[in-house]
Structure 1
Amino acid sequence: MAIVEETTLTAENRWMKLAHDVLAGARLSEEDGLAILRSSDDELLDLLSAAFAIRKRHFGKTVQLYQLMNAKSGLCPEDCGYCSQSKVSDAEIPKYNFLSRDKLMQGAEIAAERGVKTYCIVISARGPNEREMNAVETIVPEIKQKYDLKICACLGLLSQDQAERLKACGVDRVNHNVNTSKDYYEKICSTHTYEDRIETLSAVRNAGIELCSGGIVGMGETDLDVVRMANELRDLNVESIPVNFLNPIEGTPLHEQGRDLTPRRCLKILAMYRFANPTSELRIAGGREIHLRSLQPLGLYAANSIFLGDYLTTSGQQAEDDYRMLEDLGFEVTKCDEAVVGQQPAS
C-alpha cells in the first residue's frame, strides 16, 4: 500500500484515505509508516483524526486501565541498557526479592478499587526460578477469585513448560516486549537476543495465552526501526501493545538518549502504531507523563489503554488526574475485552 501523493490530496484526505484502506484490510507499508513519522506538525490533528477512525471502529471510546506491581525489583543479571534494574545500572532503586502474598494481594485490592481491568505482576530476572514460579501459581488463582481481575505476568524468558504452567494457574496474558526492531536489538542488550524473546512469545502463544508485547522508543533507533517494530508486532498478532517512551534514568547506559522525543513526535508514533495494528489494544506506557506532557489526552485518540499509577521504578501521574483526563475526553473506562463492532469510521 502506498499513500496517494500529497500534491493530489489534502492532509486530511490523505490520512483518512489511509485509515479507510487499513479498515478495509490493507497492511501498513514501511513507506507509509515512515510518511507518518516524518509528516509535518501542521498535519498532526488530521493524522490523529484518521487514527481515531480506526480506534473508534474497533474500540469505540473505551479505555482499558492497567496497574503494575513490581513483584521483584533490581537484582537482574541482564545488561539491557535502558533498564534501571539491570546489572549495568547504577541507578538508585529499591532492590528486593519476590514480594509477600499480603503485598501482592494489597496491590490487587487497590487495582480493583480503581476500576483497573488487568493487574500486571512483574519481576526483574532473566527468567523465573522455581520458587518464583510456585509463588505466581499460588497467588494468581487467589487474586482472580477474590478480585475478578485479569492477570498479566511479566517474568522474563520462559520455557514451554513454564508457559503452560502459567496458563494452568489462570494467567490471562504474558508480557514480553520485543523492545525494538530485530536489527537494532544488539545495540541495547548483549546477554540475550531478539530471537530469545521471540522464542518466549512463541511458547506463550503455544500455551494458549494472549500476548502482550511492545517496545521502547527513544533509544537511538532510526525511524525505520520504529516502523519495523510496529510491523513485527503485527506479524506476531499481538493482542496488547504497550508503547514506552524512554525515560532516561541517571545511572543507566542510555540515560543520555530520549532527549529528542517531543510530544508531537510521540503522537505520530502512537498514530503509526494504530495504523499498523488496527485491532490490537494499544497502551501508552512508560514515559507518558514526561514526554507527552500536556498533550497526553491527544494520545488516546490513537491508543485505547494506559497504566494507572506508578511504573516499575519511576512515578506515574496521580490516578485522580487520569480519571479527570478520561472524563474530560468523554471516554469510558471499561473492563470489556470485546471489540466494538458495526461502527463506521468517521468521514
Structure 2
Amino acid sequence: MIRNNWTLEEIHNIYNTPLLELIYKAATIHRDFNDTAEVQVCTLLSIKTGGCSEDCSYCPQAARYNTGIDVQALMKKEEVLAYAQKAKDAGSTRFCMGAAWREVRDNRDFDRVLDMVKGVNEMGMEVCCTLGMLTEHQAEKLAEAGLYAYNHNLDTSKEHYNEIITTRTYDDRLQTLDNVRKAGVTVCCGGIIGLGETHADRIKMLHTLVTMPQHPESVPINALVAIKGTPLENNKKVDIWDMVRMIATARIIMPKTMVRLSAGRTDMSVAEQALCFMAGANSIFAGDKLLTTPNPSFDEDNIMFQLLGLKPRESFKAEKEKLKDMVEA
C-alpha cells in the first residue's frame, strides 16, 4: 500500500529493525512492486562546472573553496549530445545534465539548456536536469522542451540543513520541488549521508520525502565523497551498513520509487553493491564521473550486471505501462 502519512515513529522503527530482518522486509516489498532484476542506468554530465556562489559544505564546485576544480563555461549543444549518444550506446536510458548554478536565470544560457533538453529527448532518452532553484515558469519551459525529471536534493533534515548550507533555505528547496511538480515534470530528490548528521536526521529527511503529496519518482541515496578543500574534507567514510539501512528503509516506505545507489560507489565492492540492490536499490549512475567526483566506469558496471544477473531498465517504462493499462481497461 502506497502511503503518504508515515509518522516519524514508524520510520524510526523500520530504520532500527535488526539489519538482516530489515533487508529481508525491503527485498520482499521490492519484489512485490518492481522487477528486481531491472536497474535503471543513468548518466550525469556536468555541462557547466565550478564557480558556484553557494556554500554547500560538501561541494567542490563552490567558488569559495579551493578544491582544484577549474571553472568551465556552459558546454556546446553538440558536445553534450555526443556525450549523451555515448552514454546511450553504453546502456544508459536516462541522461542528466548538471550546471553549477545557484538558480536558473532567464538568459541565453537557459535557452541553450532548453535546446540541449530537446536534443536529448529526441534521442529517446529520459532527460533530467539539476540546475539549482527554479521558478514555476522556468519549470514549465523545461517541461515544454521535453524534460522528464528534475533533480533537486534535500541533502539532509531541515534541522541539520543550516550546518551544511547557509546560502539558501530548506523551504527554497521545497518550493523548487513544488514548481517542478506543478509543471508535470517527475521529481528526483534524495540526500547525502555522512554530512555529520545523526540517525534521527536521516529519518527526518526520509519523512519529508515520504509525506510529500506524491512520492518522488526517484530518490538518490548518496554517500559523502569527502573532497579536499571543502569544510567536510575530514569526515569519515560512510559505513556500507548505513547505506544499506537507508536504502532498505526508503524502499519499504516508498515501494514504487526508483531508489538510486548514487555517489560513493567507487568505494564499494561488488558484494557491497549487491547488498544495496537486494535491499531495494534499482537505479545507478554510470560513467566515470558524477559531475566532478569519480564513479565506476561503464565497463565495470557491465561486468557487475552480468555477474549479478541484472539488466538495464528501458526508457519511459512507467509511461508505457500506464498506456498499456489504459488500453487493456
The normalised TM-score by structure 1 is 0.85
| Superposition deviation, residue 24 in structure 1 | 7.5
What pairs up with 1:156-195 in 2 under 5 angstroms? Answer: 156-195=132-171
CA contact (8 A) 2:104 2:132 kept: yes
Match in the other structure for 1:55:
30
1:329 to 1:46, Cα distance in 2 relative to 1, 3 A: farther
CA contact (8 A) 1:121 1:154 kept: yes
Percent of aligned pairs with the same residue?
Answer: 31
Instruction: State the alpha-carbon separation in 2 of the partners of residues 313 and 292 from structure 1.
Output: 21
Task: Kindly provide the CA deviation profile for residues 143-169 of structure 1, in whole angstroms up to 9, marking residues without a partner as x.
Answer: 222x21110011100111111110111
Match in the other structure for 2:286:
308
Match in the other structure for 2:326:
none
SS in 2 for 1:89: coil
SS in 1 for 2:318: coil
Match in the other structure for 1:199:
175
1:94 to 1:37, Cα distance in 2 relative to 1, 3 A: farther
| Superposition deviation, residue 30 in structure 1 | 2.8
Match in the other structure for 1:45:
20
CA contact (8 A) 1:262 1:292 kept: no
Match in the other structure for 1:283:
260
The normalised TM-score by structure 2 is 0.90
| Superposition deviation, residue 334 in structure 1 | 1.5
Match in the other structure for 1:266:
243
Task: Kindly provide the CA deviation profile for residues 218-250 of structure 1, in whole angstroms up to 9, marking residues without a partner as x.
Answer: 101111110111121112221111111101111
When structure 1 is superposed on structure 2, of 286-295 and 188-197 the one drifting more is 286-295
1:328 to 1:183, Cα distance in 2 relative to 1, 3 A: same
Instruction: State the alpha-carbon separation in 2 of the partners of residues 85 and 155 from structure 1.
Output: 13
CA contact (8 A) 2:258 2:281 kept: yes
Task: Kindly provide the CA deviation profile for residues 70-110 of structure 1, in whole angstroms up to 9, marking residues without a partner as x.
Answer: 00110100101111101332111232010011210111111
Tell me how many residue pairs correspond in the alignment: 314
RMSD in angstroms over aligned alpha carbons? Answer: 2.0
SS in 2 for 1:241: strand
1:320 to 1:24, Cα distance in 2 relative to 1, 3 A: same
Instruction: State the alpha-carbon separation in 1 of the partners of residues 171 and 293 from structure 2.
Output: 28
Match in the other structure for 2:313:
334
Unaligned runs of 5+ in 1: 1-22, 342-347
Task: Kindly provide the CA deviation profile for residues 296-344 of structure 1, in whole angstroms up to 9, marking residues without a partner as x.
Answer: 1111121110000121111111212212222222222111533999xxx
CA contact (8 A) 1:179 1:216 kept: yes
Instruction: State the alpha-carbon separation in 1 of the partners of residues 269 and 61 from structure 2.
Output: 24
